[in-house]
Amino acid sequence: MNVASRPVVPGKTRTCPHCKAVILESLSICPGCLHHLRFDSEAAKRQVAATSALRVEGLIRHPPLEEPWEYFVTIAIRNDRGEEVARQVVNVGALSGAEKRTFTLSVEMLPPQPPVPTNNPNTSVTGSNPMLKQGAQPGKATPAQMAGLKPPVPGQKPPKKH
């Protein structure tokens, strides 16, 4: 099955079979576990072309002589009206005695998908195969084709036999 020819709705999700993260259906590599999900060169090129719209990195270092600190990492996403559309606790843990943690948040933006070819009546879907033109059925030649004659043009009288 050629997955590249199937139109994908922007924002549609699926579950990564490896790490069970919810990811975009259009991705060929899971951003969570980095496993390859399918071999689709166009999707891979699109994913490589992703740009970083936001990247924040921070380091937290625990003071060496204090009691352990607990931490939790939460991500919240809001729409243009300020309403929270998603909230998730990503990780929890504790730091003690001079331990440190580096946290990185990144948001990647994918370029638009190229349009998928459709069956447009104004374009020929038959290519140059004469067997598929003028209403012929694949694998069956018309009598005119069998005789080496061109098929009649609609509205034109057939040539007279001598």
Q: Does residue 105 carry a pLDDT above 70?
A: yes
Residue 149 resides in a domain: no
pLDDT tens column, 11-41: 888 899 988 889 888 888 888 888 888 777 6
- Using pLDDT thresholds of 50, 70 and 90, give the confidence band for residue 2: very low
Per-residue pLDDT at 127: 45
Which one is predicted more confidently, 54 or 1? 54
Considering the domain boundaries, does residue 128 fall inside one?
A: no
Task: Say if residue 85 is in the same domain as residue 73.
Answer: yes
40 shares its domain with 65: no
Our count of domains for the chain comes to 2
56 with 75, same domain: the answer is yes
Last residue of a domain, one of 111, 134, 149: 111
pLDDT (tens digit per residue) in 38-97: 777 666 667 777 778 899 999 999 988 899 999 999 999 999 999 999 999 999 999 998
**Per residue in 117-160, pLDDT tens?**
666 555 444 444 444 444 444 445 555 555 555 555 556 565 56
User: Residue 128: its pLDDT value, please?
Assistant: 46
Q: Do 45 and 68 have their domain in common?
A: no
Whether 120 is covered by a domain: the verdict is: no
* pTM of the full structure: 0.54
DSSP string, the chain: --GGGS---TT-EEE-TTT--EEETT-SB-TTT--B----HHHHHHHHT-EEEEEEEEEEE--TTSPPEEEEEEEEEE-TTS-EEEEEEEEEEEE-TT-EEEEEEEEEEPPPPPPPP---TTS-SSTT-GGGSTTPPTT---HHHHTTPPPPPTTSPPPPP-
What domain range is 44 assigned to? 8-49
Residue 141 belongs to some domain of the structure: no
